[in-house]
Amino acid sequence: MWYFMILTKTTEYSIRILSFMALSDEKLFSAKYLHEKLNIPQRYLMRLLTSLSKSGFIKSIQGRNGGYVFVKNLDQINVSDIIKAVEGKNPFNECILGFEECLFEKPCPMHNLWADARETILKTFESTTLADLRKQQLV
């Protein structure tokens, strides 16, 4: 079985972190706790938490009992926002086969076939919030 990955490991981990936080009944998450539960390398996790804080999704509470909490309501954070914040661009505008020369003027063989799937995925990411993911877990 083979598959391709459009999203980077950074994006995958960022979505895992925020989804985990959203799906938990905890309100405050220490980096140590997230590291233990998600098995994300400690340094990488710290870099991601800083990035997610700078993007305005979470904030750091300093002190002995500190940790990370959401700044925005879960219904204000959609998966597309997370991807764009981490990637700095929309990865779905890239060629599905990885060809750098695949452009709208000179498309690769998969370009038109990928267009409908790409639109469906983008709409799903744009319309799915962390609150939606939480509701799905509770069903």
Q: What are the residues facing 60 on neighbouring strands?
A: 68
Asked if residue 134 lies in contact with residue 74, where contact means CB atoms within 8 angstroms, the answer is yes
Does residue 4 belong to any structural domain of this protein? Answer: no
What's the pLDDT tens digit per position in 1-18?
344 446 789 999 999 999
Does residue 3 belong to any structural domain of this protein? Answer: no
Does residue 19 belong to any structural domain of this protein? Answer: yes
Does residue 21 belong to any structural domain of this protein? Answer: yes
Residue 124 has pLDDT above 60, yes or no: yes
Asked if residue 14 lies in contact with residue 51, where contact means CB atoms within 8 angstroms, the answer is yes
What's the pLDDT tens digit per position in 43-87?
999 999 999 999 999 999 998 888 999 999 999 999 999 998 988
Does residue 127 belong to any structural domain of this protein? Answer: yes
At residue 108 the predicted structure's pLDDT band, cuts being 50, 70 and 90, is: confident
Distance CA 9, CA 70 (A): 22
Number of folded domains in the chain?
A: 1
Range of the domain at 113: 9-138
Task: Give the model's pLDDT for residue 91.
Answer: 65
Does residue 103 belong to any structural domain of this protein? Answer: yes
Q: Which CATH number is 76's domain given?
A: 1.10.10.10
Does residue 15 belong to any structural domain of this protein? Answer: yes
Asked if residue 50 lies in contact with residue 34, where contact means CB atoms within 8 angstroms, the answer is no
